[in-house]
Amino acid sequence: MKAAAPRRITLAYTGASGLPFGLRLLECLLAAKVHVDLVYSAAAQMVARQECELTLPTQPREAARVLGERYGAREGQLVVHARDDWMAPMASGSNPGDAMVVCPCTMGTLGAIANGLADNLIERAGDVMLKERRPLVLVPRETPLSAIHLENMLKLARAGAVILPPAPGFYAHPKSIADLVDFVVARILDHVGVSNALLPRWGERRGAAPPTQSA
């Protein structure tokens, strides 16, 4: 029996580089008629100004208005939550939503979720997804990776999270940065069960079998 499409997804932005991935993901989720609960850190606001020349408002209602108008949200489809809003639905296992994505995800946030710290709404929501066995996708943007980073990723993968670094493939012959962003966003959407046609699938264009890796 085919699983139902997600109705509500939690999306979090943190202070890692890569906010264009998160903004494009928001746009695609809204276009797919998914309800989005959005929360972002103060560092993400700084990254938005630096990378996208975008001011993410501090007040949740204003943020929902600005982003909703920018990306065509229907009334009530996008709700923005403050980082300390412990009454937000995703703060409890009784109302966690269908999936959660942290995109981009700092190593600090990744480590906090890996170790169950839950000191803010982003960390708590991630903790809830793990304990409730709901899909949690983390999109870490860092290089190189230390042993601590790798150990935290392994701990999360064993706990059920998907670690999805923003590493685009080139077999679709991207012609722009937007194409590279869409490659990563398509993979995220796949993992939270949202249908998309952002890029050709492997084998669709040329009918070739996947290559084998040499030893």
Q: Is 3 within a domain? A: no
Rounded Cα distance between 184 and 165, Å, is: 8
Say what the pTM is: 0.92
Asked if residue 144 has a cis previous peptide bond (ω within 30° of 0), the answer is yes
Classify the C-alpha dihedral 88-166-194-175 as positive or negative. Answer: positive
Q: Is 196 within a domain? A: no
Q: What CATH number does residue 36 fall under? A: 3.40.50.1950
- Averaged pLDDT for residues 96-113: 97
pLDDT class for 206, splitting at 50, 70, 90?
low
Question: What is the model's pLDDT at position 104?
Answer: 98
Query: 26 near 36, Cβ under 8 Å?
Result: yes
Q: Taking all residues of the chain, what is their mean pLDDT, rounded to a whole number?
A: 93
The predicted-structure confidence for 130-146, as pLDDT tens digits, reads as follows 999 999 999 999 999 99
Rounded Cα distance between 9 and 66, Å, is: 19
Q: Is 214 within a domain? A: no
The predicted-structure confidence for 175-205, as pLDDT tens digits, reads as follows 999 999 999 999 999 999 999 999 888 887 6
E strand segments, the chain: 8-13, 35-40, 78-80, 99-105, 136-140, 162-163
Range(s) of the domain holding residue 69: 8-191
Nearest to 138 by CA among 149, 71, 5: 149
Question: What is the model's pLDDT at position 159?
Answer: 98
Q: Is the pLDDT of residue 122 over 50?
A: yes
Q: Is 203 within a domain? A: no
Classify the C-alpha dihedral 158-92-194-31 as positive or negative. Answer: negative
pLDDT class for 172, splitting at 50, 70, 90?
confident
Q: Is 1 within a domain? A: no
- Averaged pLDDT for residues 89-100: 96
Q: Is the pLDDT of residue 108 over 80?
A: yes
Structure tokens given for 122: 């982003």
Question: What is the model's pLDDT at position 212?
Answer: 53
Structure tokens given for 15: 């202070």
What's the number of domains the chain is made of?
A: 1
Query: 132 near 169, Cβ under 8 Å?
Result: no
Q: Is 137 within a domain? A: yes
- Averaged pLDDT for residues 5-10: 86
Q: Is 202 within a domain? A: no
Q: Is 199 within a domain? A: no
